[in-house]
Structures are given as C-alpha cells and as structure tokens.
Amino acid sequence: MLTRITTNPAQWLSRRELECCKLICLGYSNKQLADLLSLSIKTVERHRQACFKKLEAHTVLELLRRAFEFNVLTFDEWKQNDPCPSFPSPFGRRPNWL
C-alpha cells in the first residue's frame, strides 16, 4: 500500500522518471532507454530505481500495474506499442508521447 499522502505519481516522479517508467512498462531495457533518451546507463539505472521506489513496486509487472492504476500509462498507449520489443528499435518509431 502506498504510504504517500497524494495519489498522483506525477507529483513524486520527475519528467524523466515518468518517461523511463513508461518505457520500462513497454519492455525497454536499460540500454535501449539510454540510447533512446540519450542518457548514460547509470542515469537510466537511477531513474529506474527511483520509479520502483516511488511507486513501491518490486517487479516490472507491479510497476505496470501501478502505471495503469495512476494513469502514468494508459492501456491504449501500452496496446498500440508492441509489449515485447526487439533491439534496436522496438516499434520502428518513437512512442508518440516522447
């Protein structure tokens, strides 16, 4: 159970953390995130860790459930993108919300 007073994750996640959270839920690896967002892998790992901690998730499945629960990611966004991406370009294009 979330211990935060507010139920809006946008108030506790930075813009980059929200982007990373969405992409993690879509199946991107740390390397793919780093390449797509032009960040170092260490920075991506820190954003990933922050997402899991702030949303109190321990697995990607829990993170996906929380993302749906708090409207970080909609089912339509998830459905329109292939949830089983392949490197280097999981969808052949960038997700439309980036």
pLDDT band at residue 85 using 50, 70 and 90 as cut-offs: very low
* CA R_g for the chain: 13
Closest CA to 21 of 42, 41, 44, 48: 48
Would residue 36 count as lying in a domain?
Answer: yes
**Mean pLDDT on 46-55:** 93
Half-sphere CA count of 58, side-chain side, radius 13 A? 1
Asked if residue 70 has pLDDT above 90, the reply is no
φ and ψ at 83, to 5 degrees? -70, -5
Domain total of the chain:
1
| E strand or H helix that includes residue 4 | none
**Mean pLDDT on 24-44:** 92
Would residue 69 count as lying in a domain?
Answer: yes
Range of the domain at 64: 12-80
Would residue 98 count as lying in a domain?
Answer: no
